[in-house]
Amino acid sequence: MNWNNFFGLEKRNVDKGLDYVSAYSDGLLFGKLSTRSNAMGISAVFAAVNLIANTIAMLPVIITSKVDNKKNRMDNHNLNYIFGDRNTANYLSKFNLFKQIIQSVILRGNAFCYIERSNNGKVMNVRFLEASDVIIYYSKERNLLYYDCPIVSKKHIEPCNMLHFVLHSYDGIQGVSLLNYAARTLGITNASENSAKNFFENGMNVNGIIKVNTPISAKQKEEIRQSWANTYGNGGGGLAVINANMDYQQLQLSPEDSQLLSSRQFNVSDIARFFNIDPSLIGGDGKVSYSSLEQIQQAFLCHTLQPYISMIENELNRKLLLPSEEFLKIELETNELLRVNKQAQADYYTKMVSSGIMSINEVRNELGYNNIEDGDKHFIAYSSTEKNEIGGNSDNSENNDNNNKE
Protein backbone atom coordinates (compact mmCIF):
# COMPACT_ATOMS: atom_id res chain seq x y z
CA MET A 1 0.00 0.00 0.00
CA ASN A 2 1.21 3.51 -0.81
CA TRP A 3 0.99 5.20 2.55
CA ASN A 4 1.50 8.64 0.98
CA ASN A 5 -1.68 8.18 -1.04
CA PHE A 6 -3.45 6.72 1.98
CA PHE A 7 -2.75 9.86 3.99
CA GLY A 8 -3.50 12.14 1.04
CA LEU A 9 0.15 13.11 0.46
CA GLU A 10 1.61 13.49 -2.98
CA LYS A 11 5.08 12.29 -3.85
CA ARG A 12 7.60 15.13 -3.99
CA ASN A 13 9.88 15.32 -6.99
CA VAL A 14 12.74 17.51 -5.89
CA ASP A 15 13.81 19.92 -8.62
CA LYS A 16 17.20 19.20 -10.11
CA GLY A 17 19.87 21.34 -8.57
CA LEU A 18 18.01 21.88 -5.31
CA ASP A 19 19.65 20.65 -2.14
CA TYR A 20 17.70 19.17 0.74
CA VAL A 21 18.33 21.03 3.98
CA SER A 22 16.97 19.78 7.27
CA ALA A 23 15.38 22.52 9.32
CA TYR A 24 15.64 20.34 12.41
CA SER A 25 18.90 21.49 13.98
CA ASP A 26 19.20 19.87 17.39
CA GLY A 27 22.87 19.06 17.15
CA LEU A 28 23.35 18.83 20.90
CA LEU A 29 25.92 16.06 20.75
CA PHE A 30 28.02 16.85 23.79
CA GLY A 31 28.88 13.89 25.98
CA LYS A 32 25.73 12.13 27.10
CA LEU A 33 23.66 15.23 26.55
CA SER A 34 21.95 14.79 23.19
CA THR A 35 18.46 16.24 23.45
CA ARG A 36 16.96 19.66 23.89
CA SER A 37 15.11 18.50 26.99
CA ASN A 38 18.40 17.49 28.63
CA ALA A 39 19.92 20.85 27.72
CA MET A 40 16.95 22.60 29.31
CA GLY A 41 17.62 20.47 32.39
CA ILE A 42 20.69 22.63 33.03
CA SER A 43 19.38 25.43 35.23
CA ALA A 44 21.44 28.19 33.58
CA VAL A 45 20.21 27.20 30.10
CA PHE A 46 16.61 26.96 31.29
CA ALA A 47 16.83 30.38 32.97
CA ALA A 48 18.46 32.06 29.95
CA VAL A 49 16.05 30.62 27.37
CA ASN A 50 13.00 31.48 29.44
CA LEU A 51 14.25 34.97 30.26
CA ILE A 52 14.71 35.86 26.59
CA ALA A 53 11.59 34.06 25.32
CA ASN A 54 9.26 35.36 28.03
CA THR A 55 10.48 38.94 27.68
CA ILE A 56 10.03 38.96 23.89
CA ALA A 57 6.62 37.28 24.22
CA MET A 58 5.39 40.05 26.55
CA LEU A 59 6.04 42.81 24.00
CA PRO A 60 2.89 44.05 22.22
CA VAL A 61 2.80 43.99 18.41
CA ILE A 62 1.74 47.35 16.94
CA ILE A 63 1.11 48.51 13.38
CA THR A 64 2.19 52.06 12.62
CA SER A 65 2.03 54.34 9.59
CA LYS A 66 4.35 57.17 8.72
CA VAL A 67 2.95 59.90 6.47
CA ASP A 68 4.52 63.36 6.22
CA ASN A 69 6.98 62.37 8.96
CA LYS A 70 4.08 61.78 11.35
CA LYS A 71 3.82 58.38 13.02
CA ASN A 72 0.36 57.00 13.82
CA ARG A 73 -0.87 53.69 15.20
CA MET A 74 -3.14 51.69 12.90
CA ASP A 75 -5.37 50.07 15.50
CA ASN A 76 -7.93 48.92 12.91
CA HIS A 77 -5.46 46.88 10.84
CA ASN A 78 -6.32 43.16 10.66
CA LEU A 79 -2.85 42.18 11.92
CA ASN A 80 -3.76 43.71 15.28
CA TYR A 81 -6.41 41.01 15.62
CA ILE A 82 -4.08 38.24 14.45
CA PHE A 83 -1.46 39.21 17.04
CA GLY A 84 -4.03 40.23 19.63
CA ASP A 85 -5.25 38.42 22.72
CA ARG A 86 -8.65 37.57 21.22
CA ASN A 87 -7.56 35.63 18.14
CA THR A 88 -9.34 32.32 18.70
CA ALA A 89 -8.48 31.08 15.19
CA ASN A 90 -4.95 30.35 16.39
CA TYR A 91 -4.54 27.55 18.91
CA LEU A 92 -1.67 29.50 20.44
CA SER A 93 -2.11 32.79 22.23
CA LYS A 94 0.04 35.69 21.08
CA PHE A 95 2.29 35.21 24.12
CA ASN A 96 2.78 31.49 23.52
CA LEU A 97 3.24 32.01 19.77
CA PHE A 98 6.19 34.35 20.21
CA LYS A 99 7.59 32.28 23.08
CA GLN A 100 7.59 29.19 20.83
CA ILE A 101 9.28 31.18 18.06
CA ILE A 102 12.13 32.36 20.30
CA GLN A 103 12.58 28.97 21.96
CA SER A 104 12.73 27.25 18.57
CA VAL A 105 15.29 29.75 17.26
CA ILE A 106 17.53 29.25 20.30
CA LEU A 107 17.19 25.48 20.70
CA ARG A 108 16.79 24.42 17.06
CA GLY A 109 18.22 27.30 15.09
CA ASN A 110 15.04 27.80 13.06
CA ALA A 111 11.43 28.79 13.69
CA PHE A 112 8.62 28.59 11.14
CA CYS A 113 5.11 30.01 10.86
CA TYR A 114 2.85 29.26 7.91
CA ILE A 115 0.97 32.29 6.58
CA GLU A 116 -2.69 31.58 5.80
CA ARG A 117 -3.99 34.04 3.20
CA SER A 118 -7.32 34.86 1.57
CA ASN A 119 -7.73 34.79 -2.21
CA ASN A 120 -6.68 38.44 -2.48
CA GLY A 121 -3.47 37.86 -0.48
CA LYS A 122 -4.72 39.26 2.82
CA VAL A 123 -3.21 37.57 5.88
CA MET A 124 -5.85 35.61 7.78
CA ASN A 125 -3.74 33.77 10.32
CA VAL A 126 -0.19 32.78 11.26
CA ARG A 127 0.35 29.14 12.24
CA PHE A 128 3.41 27.99 14.19
CA LEU A 129 5.15 24.86 12.87
CA GLU A 130 7.60 22.52 14.53
CA ALA A 131 11.02 22.78 12.90
CA SER A 132 11.09 19.00 12.54
CA ASP A 133 8.01 19.18 10.27
CA VAL A 134 9.60 21.55 7.73
CA ILE A 135 12.06 20.76 4.93
CA ILE A 136 14.04 23.48 3.18
CA TYR A 137 15.03 23.21 -0.50
CA TYR A 138 17.59 25.64 -1.81
CA SER A 139 19.58 26.03 -5.04
CA LYS A 140 22.54 28.42 -5.05
CA GLU A 141 22.90 28.22 -8.83
CA ARG A 142 19.26 29.06 -9.52
CA ASN A 143 18.77 31.24 -6.42
CA LEU A 144 15.63 29.26 -5.69
CA LEU A 145 14.18 28.55 -2.26
CA TYR A 146 11.02 26.84 -1.11
CA TYR A 147 9.70 24.76 1.79
CA ASP A 148 7.85 21.49 2.22
CA CYS A 149 5.47 20.86 5.09
CA PRO A 150 2.77 18.22 4.43
CA ILE A 151 0.91 19.28 7.57
CA VAL A 152 -0.26 22.53 5.99
CA SER A 153 0.20 22.07 2.23
CA LYS A 154 0.61 19.31 -0.33
CA LYS A 155 2.45 21.73 -2.61
CA HIS A 156 5.77 23.46 -2.29
CA ILE A 157 5.48 26.53 -0.08
CA GLU A 158 7.00 29.71 -1.44
CA PRO A 159 9.06 31.92 0.92
CA CYS A 160 6.40 34.65 0.81
CA ASN A 161 4.02 32.27 2.58
CA MET A 162 6.42 31.02 5.23
CA LEU A 163 7.83 33.06 8.10
CA HIS A 164 11.32 31.70 8.65
CA PHE A 165 13.16 33.09 11.66
CA VAL A 166 16.93 32.62 11.77
CA LEU A 167 19.42 34.33 14.09
CA HIS A 168 22.61 32.25 13.83
CA SER A 169 23.53 30.76 10.46
CA TYR A 170 26.49 29.87 8.27
CA ASP A 171 24.73 30.58 4.97
CA GLY A 172 21.67 32.69 5.86
CA ILE A 173 19.33 29.86 4.81
CA GLN A 174 19.53 27.24 7.52
CA GLY A 175 19.70 28.36 11.12
CA VAL A 176 22.12 26.94 13.66
CA SER A 177 21.15 26.37 17.27
CA LEU A 178 22.95 28.53 19.81
CA LEU A 179 23.50 25.35 21.79
CA ASN A 180 25.63 23.98 18.94
CA TYR A 181 28.17 26.71 19.56
CA ALA A 182 28.03 26.08 23.31
CA ALA A 183 28.30 22.28 23.00
CA ARG A 184 31.70 22.07 24.72
CA THR A 185 30.62 24.29 27.61
CA LEU A 186 27.36 22.38 28.02
CA GLY A 187 29.26 19.09 28.03
CA ILE A 188 31.53 20.36 30.81
CA THR A 189 28.52 21.67 32.71
CA ASN A 190 26.75 18.34 32.36
CA ALA A 191 29.82 16.52 33.69
CA SER A 192 30.05 18.97 36.60
CA GLU A 193 26.39 18.44 37.46
CA ASN A 194 26.87 14.66 37.43
CA SER A 195 29.91 15.03 39.70
CA ALA A 196 27.92 17.22 42.08
CA LYS A 197 25.12 14.66 42.05
CA ASN A 198 27.55 11.90 42.97
CA PHE A 199 29.13 14.18 45.57
CA PHE A 200 25.89 14.38 47.54
CA GLU A 201 24.51 10.92 46.77
CA ASN A 202 27.61 8.92 47.66
CA GLY A 203 28.16 10.30 51.13
CA MET A 204 30.89 12.76 50.20
CA ASN A 205 28.98 15.45 52.03
CA VAL A 206 30.06 14.22 55.50
CA ASN A 207 29.96 17.17 57.89
CA GLY A 208 31.98 15.69 60.72
CA ILE A 209 33.42 12.69 62.53
CA ILE A 210 32.60 11.35 66.03
CA LYS A 211 35.71 9.80 67.54
CA VAL A 212 35.19 7.28 70.36
CA ASN A 213 38.24 6.81 72.58
CA THR A 214 37.36 3.20 73.54
CA PRO A 215 36.94 0.20 71.24
CA ILE A 216 33.34 -0.37 70.09
CA SER A 217 31.62 -2.87 67.84
CA ALA A 218 30.22 -2.16 64.39
CA LYS A 219 26.70 -2.34 65.84
CA GLN A 220 27.56 0.31 68.44
CA LYS A 221 29.05 2.56 65.73
CA GLU A 222 25.82 2.36 63.77
CA GLU A 223 23.73 3.09 66.88
CA ILE A 224 25.84 6.19 67.65
CA ARG A 225 25.62 7.38 64.02
CA GLN A 226 21.86 6.86 63.90
CA SER A 227 21.33 8.55 67.26
CA TRP A 228 23.38 11.57 66.15
CA ALA A 229 21.48 11.80 62.86
CA ASN A 230 18.11 11.58 64.59
CA THR A 231 19.03 14.23 67.15
CA TYR A 232 21.04 16.73 65.10
CA GLY A 233 20.61 15.72 61.48
CA ASN A 234 17.34 17.59 60.81
CA GLY A 235 17.73 20.78 62.75
CA GLY A 236 17.56 19.03 66.12
CA GLY A 237 19.40 21.86 67.83
CA GLY A 238 22.53 23.94 67.66
CA LEU A 239 24.12 22.53 70.85
CA ALA A 240 25.38 18.93 70.87
CA VAL A 241 26.02 16.91 74.04
CA ILE A 242 28.30 13.85 73.83
CA ASN A 243 29.91 11.45 76.27
CA ALA A 244 33.25 12.18 77.89
CA ASN A 245 34.95 9.43 75.89
CA MET A 246 33.82 10.95 72.56
CA ASP A 247 35.22 13.76 70.45
CA TYR A 248 33.46 15.52 67.55
CA GLN A 249 35.55 16.89 64.70
CA GLN A 250 33.91 19.05 62.01
CA LEU A 251 35.23 18.48 58.49
CA GLN A 252 35.95 21.27 56.05
CA LEU A 253 35.58 21.04 52.30
CA SER A 254 38.69 19.75 50.61
CA PRO A 255 40.32 21.89 47.90
CA GLU A 256 38.94 19.45 45.32
CA ASP A 257 35.40 19.79 46.70
CA SER A 258 35.66 23.59 46.80
CA GLN A 259 36.92 23.57 43.21
CA LEU A 260 33.89 21.49 42.19
CA LEU A 261 31.50 24.07 43.64
CA SER A 262 33.46 26.95 42.09
CA SER A 263 33.43 25.27 38.69
CA ARG A 264 29.63 25.03 38.81
CA GLN A 265 29.43 28.80 39.28
CA PHE A 266 31.94 29.35 36.48
CA ASN A 267 29.75 27.21 34.21
CA VAL A 268 26.82 29.56 34.86
CA SER A 269 28.94 32.54 33.82
CA ASP A 270 30.23 30.72 30.75
CA ILE A 271 26.70 29.81 29.61
CA ALA A 272 25.59 33.40 30.23
CA ARG A 273 28.29 34.61 27.82
CA PHE A 274 26.91 32.43 25.04
CA PHE A 275 23.46 33.92 25.58
CA ASN A 276 24.96 37.42 25.91
CA ILE A 277 23.30 37.81 29.32
CA ASP A 278 24.76 39.15 32.55
CA PRO A 279 25.14 36.18 34.94
CA SER A 280 23.20 38.02 37.66
CA LEU A 281 20.05 37.76 35.51
CA ILE A 282 20.13 33.95 35.54
CA GLY A 283 21.13 33.32 39.15
CA GLY A 284 24.85 33.98 39.04
CA ASP A 285 26.66 35.02 42.20
CA GLY A 286 27.54 38.59 43.00
CA LYS A 287 25.79 41.54 44.61
CA VAL A 288 24.32 44.08 42.21
CA SER A 289 23.65 47.69 43.18
CA TYR A 290 20.60 49.59 41.96
CA SER A 291 22.62 51.73 39.55
CA SER A 292 24.46 48.76 38.08
CA LEU A 293 21.17 46.85 37.82
CA GLU A 294 19.79 49.60 35.60
CA GLN A 295 22.87 49.34 33.38
CA ILE A 296 22.49 45.55 33.24
CA GLN A 297 18.84 45.86 32.25
CA GLN A 298 19.69 48.43 29.58
CA ALA A 299 22.43 46.16 28.21
CA PHE A 300 19.97 43.25 28.23
CA LEU A 301 17.55 45.25 26.09
CA CYS A 302 20.13 46.64 23.66
CA HIS A 303 22.54 43.74 23.26
CA THR A 304 20.51 40.63 24.11
CA LEU A 305 16.91 41.31 23.11
CA GLN A 306 17.37 43.72 20.20
CA PRO A 307 18.78 41.12 17.76
CA TYR A 308 15.75 38.90 18.38
CA ILE A 309 13.40 41.89 18.07
CA SER A 310 14.99 42.98 14.78
CA MET A 311 14.85 39.39 13.48
CA ILE A 312 11.10 39.18 14.15
CA GLU A 313 10.26 42.68 12.90
CA ASN A 314 12.20 42.26 9.65
CA GLU A 315 10.52 38.95 8.80
CA LEU A 316 7.03 40.19 9.68
CA ASN A 317 7.43 43.38 7.62
CA ARG A 318 8.84 41.52 4.61
CA LYS A 319 6.05 38.95 4.36
CA LEU A 320 2.89 40.12 6.13
CA LEU A 321 2.46 43.59 4.62
CA LEU A 322 1.09 43.98 1.09
CA PRO A 323 2.99 45.97 -1.57
CA SER A 324 0.35 48.69 -1.22
CA GLU A 325 1.19 48.98 2.49
CA GLU A 326 4.78 50.13 2.13
CA PHE A 327 4.02 53.10 4.42
CA LEU A 328 3.15 50.70 7.27
CA LYS A 329 5.49 49.07 9.74
CA ILE A 330 5.10 46.18 12.20
CA GLU A 331 6.90 46.75 15.48
CA LEU A 332 7.40 45.11 18.85
CA GLU A 333 6.76 47.84 21.40
CA THR A 334 9.76 47.85 23.73
CA ASN A 335 8.24 50.63 25.85
CA GLU A 336 6.43 47.81 27.63
CA LEU A 337 9.73 46.94 29.32
CA LEU A 338 9.90 50.39 30.92
CA ARG A 339 6.69 49.79 32.82
CA VAL A 340 8.50 47.36 35.10
CA ASN A 341 10.77 50.18 36.26
CA LYS A 342 8.67 53.26 37.05
CA GLN A 343 11.68 55.48 37.73
CA ALA A 344 13.32 54.54 34.42
CA GLN A 345 9.99 55.11 32.67
CA ALA A 346 9.57 58.57 34.20
CA ASP A 347 13.15 59.57 33.34
CA TYR A 348 12.77 58.34 29.77
CA TYR A 349 9.55 60.24 29.01
CA THR A 350 10.79 63.38 30.79
CA LYS A 351 13.80 63.47 28.50
CA MET A 352 11.68 62.73 25.42
CA VAL A 353 9.31 65.62 26.19
CA SER A 354 11.93 68.14 27.32
CA SER A 355 14.02 67.51 24.20
CA GLY A 356 11.01 68.06 21.94
CA ILE A 357 11.02 64.53 20.53
CA MET A 358 7.58 63.66 21.95
CA SER A 359 4.55 65.71 22.89
CA ILE A 360 2.63 65.26 26.12
CA ASN A 361 -0.23 63.57 24.27
CA GLU A 362 2.14 61.15 22.56
CA VAL A 363 3.42 60.11 25.96
CA ARG A 364 -0.12 59.81 27.33
CA ASN A 365 -1.16 57.67 24.37
CA GLU A 366 1.72 55.25 24.93
CA LEU A 367 0.75 54.99 28.60
CA GLY A 368 -2.91 54.39 27.73
CA TYR A 369 -4.30 57.79 28.76
CA ASN A 370 -6.55 60.13 26.79
CA ASN A 371 -5.32 63.33 25.14
CA ILE A 372 -5.43 66.66 26.93
CA GLU A 373 -5.96 70.14 25.51
CA ASP A 374 -2.82 71.70 24.00
CA GLY A 375 -1.01 68.42 24.58
CA ASP A 376 0.11 68.07 20.95
CA LYS A 377 2.65 70.88 21.19
CA HIS A 378 6.36 70.11 21.32
CA PHE A 379 8.53 71.97 23.81
CA ILE A 380 12.27 72.25 24.18
CA ALA A 381 13.52 73.06 27.66
CA TYR A 382 16.70 75.13 28.01
CA SER A 383 18.75 75.83 31.08
CA SER A 384 19.63 79.45 31.91
CA THR A 385 23.13 78.90 30.54
CA GLU A 386 21.76 77.54 27.28
CA LYS A 387 19.39 80.50 26.96
CA ASN A 388 22.28 82.93 27.31
CA GLU A 389 24.27 81.02 24.71
CA ILE A 390 21.33 81.06 22.30
CA GLY A 391 19.92 84.53 22.86
CA GLY A 392 22.99 86.31 24.19
CA ASN A 393 23.53 87.69 27.69
CA SER A 394 21.40 90.82 28.00
CA ASP A 395 23.39 92.17 30.98
CA ASN A 396 26.67 91.88 29.14
CA SER A 397 25.13 93.48 26.05
CA GLU A 398 23.95 96.51 28.04
CA ASN A 399 27.35 96.93 29.68
CA ASN A 400 29.07 96.76 26.33
CA ASP A 401 26.69 99.43 24.93
CA ASN A 402 27.40 101.76 27.87
CA ASN A 403 31.13 101.31 27.48
CA ASN A 404 30.89 102.15 23.81
CA LYS A 405 28.95 105.34 24.57
CA GLU A 406 31.63 106.48 27.03
pLDDT digits (tens, 9 = 90+) for 122-131: 999 999 999 9
Q: pLDDT per residue over 235-272, tens digit each?
A: 444 545 455 556 655 545 454 454 445 556 667 888 89
- Residue 237 and residue 263 share a domain: no
3-state DSSP assignment of residue 281: helix
- Residue 194 is assigned to a structural domain of this protein: yes
Q: How many CA atoms lie within 13 A of 152 on its CB side?
A: 23
- Residue 27 and residue 95 share a domain: yes
- Residue 171 and residue 290 share a domain: yes
- Residue 244 and residue 171 share a domain: no
Average pLDDT over residues 99-117: 95
- Residue 54 and residue 82 share a domain: yes
- Residue 79 and residue 157 share a domain: yes
- Residue 263 and residue 176 share a domain: yes
Domain end, chosen from 336, 354, 377, is at: 336
pLDDT classification of 140: cutoffs 50, 70, 90 = confident
Pick the more confident residue, 315 or 348: 315
- Residue 219 and residue 81 share a domain: no
pLDDT classification of 392: cutoffs 50, 70, 90 = very low
**CA distance to 272, 287, 288, 349, 406, per residue, from 291 (Å):** 21, 12, 8, 19, 57
Domain end, chosen from 299, 318, 336, is at: 336
Domain end, chosen from 316, 336, 356, is at: 336
How far apart are the C-alpha atoms of 278 and 304, rounded to whole Å?
Answer: 10
Average pLDDT over residues 11-27: 44
Pick the more confident residue, 256 or 324: 324
Average pLDDT over residues 325-335: 90
Pick the more confident residue, 223 or 399: 223
Closest CA to 52 of 338, 329, 278: 278
- Residue 5 is assigned to a structural domain of this protein: no
Percent of the chain with pLDDT over 70: 66
- Residue 22 and residue 145 share a domain: yes
- Residue 218 is assigned to a structural domain of this protein: yes
Residues 38 and 30: beta-carbon distance below 8 Å: no
Q: What is the pLDDT of residue 182?
A: 84
- Residue 4 is assigned to a structural domain of this protein: no
pLDDT classification of 388: cutoffs 50, 70, 90 = very low
Q: What is the pLDDT of residue 26?
A: 43
- Residue 286 and residue 238 share a domain: no
- C-alpha torsion angle, residues 224, 228, 229, 232 (rounded to 10): 180
- Residue 290 is assigned to a structural domain of this protein: yes
- Residue 400 is assigned to a structural domain of this protein: no
- Residue 27 is assigned to a structural domain of this protein: yes
- Residue 360 and residue 259 share a domain: no
How far apart are the C-alpha atoms of 149 and 327, rounded to whole Å?
Answer: 32
Average pLDDT, the chain: 76
The 8-class DSSP code of residue 371 comes to P
pLDDT tops 70 at residue 156: yes
Pick the more confident residue, 323 or 218: 323
How far apart are the C-alpha atoms of 403 and 401, rounded to whole Å?
Answer: 5
Average pLDDT over residues 311-332: 94
Pick the more confident residue, 112 or 221: 112
Q: What is the pLDDT of residue 227?
A: 74
pLDDT tops 70 at residue 10: no
Q: What is the pLDDT of residue 71?
A: 75
Q: pLDDT per residue over 177-225, tens digit each?
A: 998 888 888 877 766 666 556 655 555 455 566 666 777 778 877 777 7
Average pLDDT over residues 7-25: 42
Stretch among 9-18, 198-207, 336-345, 374-383 having the lowest mean pLDDT: 9-18
- Residue 284 and residue 273 share a domain: yes
- Residue 401 is assigned to a structural domain of this protein: no
Q: What is the pLDDT of residue 148?
A: 94
Number of structural domains (the chain) is 3
Residues 112 and 173: beta-carbon distance below 8 Å: no
- Per-residue exposure over 213-244, b if at least 16 CB sit within 10 Å of its own CB, e if not: eeeeeeeeeeebeeebeeebeeeeeeeeeeee
Show the domain range for 214.
Answer: 207-250
Q: pLDDT per residue over 38-94, tens digit each?
A: 788 888 899 999 999 999 999 999 999 887 767 788 889 999 999 988 888 888 999
